[in-house]
Structure 1
């Protein structure tokens, strides 16, 4: 798939969000997305290949957006790993629950293409998110044990995906609960003497 220019991608993804607010994925057409983005249908075909290709590209773009926000949250709380995790998880959970494509999946009215994107076909997206998180952990806490940081990042990515596929079933503060469970692992990984150069 050839990547379109940044302005075109931004316009196409914004149009897709608008279309998804109005209709289910089964009724989303590339013509409607192209019209909202101010580009030709052929441009979308050339750049994304198909509706499934567009959904995948949108999901990767959304993942990068949230990884950037999560990184910023963690930087604001770099001196407190538990607070960093809680802020990052809250941003992710609150943000994803407001995205129209993810809401389609969570509310059970998504096309199988979308469900597969966050379940059976989620491997590449999970790997991408875990890599971004691993980079953030390494940059924020240079003393972190690389293997532990990588393992924790993979775990957080998988946990996050479980809430994308199905929203929390209770009114509990999920971000705080997950942070309480995961913080000891992050604190241990970032403790002085655990890094690769120790």
Structure 2
């Protein structure tokens, strides 16, 4: 039997390391500076491993966005799970968690800078996935909201969730106040809607 001398590289571990390296390089130098050769050096793998793990540069961009999006989803879920018996407190916590995380997120800032012409190659990261991201966030929020008693028709609840998610994403991309102030404002809006419909949630 032939002896195997090449060191085995776990494809899952390599992929995670490569995506993390891409996020670091994008955050520090911009997406246009992220080449497969530089990425391989940053991740400590061969260039062929980069291609095997993530495919093309466009595939890498998509993987990077989806990976970062998952972190935002976790912050939303964490907020709701911290207040299982108080919907308003849960909404406030989910919003504040997400906005605080966004405030210190270097990759998000690099992506947002593309809207101001800093890196036009990065724009597809915003536009291509915006609708799917919006839909995914709404599903995550809806799943959590369903565990609370709310005296509204399902379609009205969906409308409120859509309003909250779109408002939150707008502030994530272009904050106009502190995370705490924004969370307070949006939570107040939801509470006002519920009170108007005779709900004390």
Q: Same fold (TM over 0.5)?
A: yes
Q: 2 CA distance for matches of 1:98 and 1:148? A: 33
CA shift for structure 1 position 121: 4.7
> Do structure 1's residue 94 and structure 2's residue 100 form an aligned pair?
yes
| Residues 107-158 of structure 1: CA deviation (Å, up to 9, x unaligned) | 43642343343246511222222222222222x3276754344333333332
Change (3 A) 1:163 1:20: same
Change (3 A) 1:120 1:56: closer
Q: 2 CA distance for matches of 1:74 and 1:98? A: 21
Aligned partner of 1:34 in structure 2 is 40
**Aligned pairs, how many?**
187
Q: Alignment partner for residue 141 of structure 1, among 148, 163, 178?
A: 148
**1:118 partner SS:** helix
Aligned partner of 1:132 in structure 2 is 140
Moved more, 151-160 or 60-69: 151-160
> Do structure 1's residue 166 and structure 2's residue 174 form an aligned pair?
yes
TM-score, normalising length from structure 2?
0.74
**Which consecutive residues of structure 2, in runs of 5 or more, have no partner in the other structure?**
1-9
The higher radius of gyration belongs to 2
Q: 2 CA distance for matches of 1:123 and 1:143? A: 27
Q: 2 CA distance for matches of 1:83 and 1:125? A: 24
TM-score, normalising length from structure 1?
0.75
CA shift for structure 1 position 185: 4.5
CA shift for structure 1 position 55: 2.1
Aligned partner of 1:157 in structure 2 is 165
Aligned partner of 1:196 in structure 2 is none
CA shift for structure 1 position 97: 2.3
CA shift for structure 1 position 159: 2.3
Superposed CA RMSD in Å reads 3.2
Change (3 A) 1:85 1:38: same
Q: 1 CA distance for matches of 2:35 and 2:194? A: 44
**1:34 partner SS:** helix
Q: 1 CA distance for matches of 2:31 and 2:134? A: 22
> Do structure 1's residue 17 and structure 2's residue 17 form an aligned pair?
no
Moved more, 83-92 or 99-108: 99-108
CA shift for structure 1 position 99: 1.9
